[in-house]
Amino acid sequence: MAYKKLKKVSWPLIVFLVLLNFGIWVTLSCPHKVGFVLQVMDVGQGDATFIQTAGGRQVLIDGGPDSKVLQDLNKVMPAQDRSLDLVVLTHPHSDHMTGLFEVLRRYRVAEVIDLPVPNQVNSLTRQWDELIASHHIFRVKARTGDRYELGDGSYLEFFAPTPLVTDLNNDSVVTTLHDASHCEMLLAGDMGFPEETQLLASGEDIHCDGLKVGHHGSATSSSVEFLQRVEPRLAAISVGQGNSYGHPNPDTLKRLTGITVWRTDLVGTVTLERSANGTLERQ
Ligand SMILES: [Zn+2]
């Protein structure tokens, strides 16, 4: 009788204790991730960066050279989730832009931020303008200092060259991701030396933990002065395997010495998170 009573009372208790123990083990053994997940996606020779905050805000910055970005989004977003809060186009070159055409067709995009460059109207920019208009997407022209709030104190801040350099790479919209008052990541688009010089002269605080290296690591981006101001601890280079441009350039890689560098042609998609101890880490 006493045994039966004990058996009735104990099993739920034992299950509860086991689950509690497992929960404590999981909590202690896995570093707690907070804030956001940022992916520099492996889209070949091009650029596409996806950001998802802890609160569920989703941002895509550039879309790569083709529809490969859709496969990458399917991996990171739930199948039923067909919406994005924000799409940023850094500049209208096909290696950043073409994948976004399919994104605008297949996802409900609430807002687009870009920097229309006068006298650069071509078939790509015409198609872009038409898609934004036909899908009734709210469009904002990027301006230096503008912020896009992501909730919980985090936000994106933009830099747009003024006056325009008129070379599309150097008219890239540059985005910084901030968590509270701290800059986590600077996304440089295809910015090269001329735009870097303008950004440095603007006096903007660009000190950031991480850097999405400008222009796929080309010889004419990531100057010593620029890297000294950003002072990144880690960097990601979005670059295609065996690309014909010779990206990333060996001299640029030399200038990045001392910074932990992840290349999409070598490791695939680079996923970064901010851990509870406040540092940006690769997942
Ligand atoms: Zn590019």
Q: What is residue 223's predicted lDDT score, i.e. its pLDDT? A: 98
Q: Are residues 15 and 150 in the same domain?
A: no
Closest CA to 216 of 254, 245, 176: 245
Q: Are residues 57 and 18 in the same domain?
A: no
| CA 123/CA 253 separation, integer angstroms | 35
| CA 62/CA 72 separation, integer angstroms | 13
Q: Are residues 133 and 207 in the same domain?
A: yes
pLDDT tens per residue across span 62-87: 999 999 999 999 999 988 999 999 99
Banded pLDDT at 183 (limits 50, 70, 90): very high
Give 263 Cα–ligand 1 centroid separation in angstroms. Answer: 14
Q: What is residue 25's predicted lDDT score, i.e. its pLDDT? A: 42
Q: Are residues 80 and 10 in the same domain?
A: no
Residue 192 identity? G
Give 23 Cα–ligand 1 centroid separation in angstroms. Answer: 45
Give 94 Cα–ligand 1 centroid separation in angstroms. Answer: 8
Q: What is the pTM of this model?
A: 0.87
Residues with Cβ within 8 Å of 58's Cβ and at least 6 positions away in sequence, in order, are 50, 51, 52, 77, 81, 83, 84, 85, 86
Q: Are residues 242 and 231 in the same domain?
A: yes
The answer to which of 17-26, 137-146, 162-171 has the lowest mean pLDDT is 17-26
Q: Are residues 127 and 170 in the same domain?
A: yes
Q: Are residues 12 and 103 in the same domain?
A: no
The structural domain count of the chain equals 2
Give 126 Cα–ligand 1 centroid separation in angstroms. Answer: 19
Q: Are residues 13 and 125 in the same domain?
A: no
Tokens of 65: 């050279």
Give the CATH number for residue 194.
Answer: 3.60.15.10
Please give the order of strands across the beta sheet that includes 108-114. 138-141, 108-114, 83-88, 58-61, 49-53, 33-40, 270-275, 280-282
Q: Are residues 233 and 252 in the same domain?
A: yes
> Which domain does 64 fall in, by range?
33-282
Closest CA to 95 of 61, 62, 46, 60: 46
- Tell me if 168 sits within 8 A of 91, measured CB to CB: yes
Mean pLDDT of the chain: 89
Give 118 Cα–ligand 1 centroid separation in angstroms. Answer: 19
In the chain, % of residues over pLDDT 70:
88
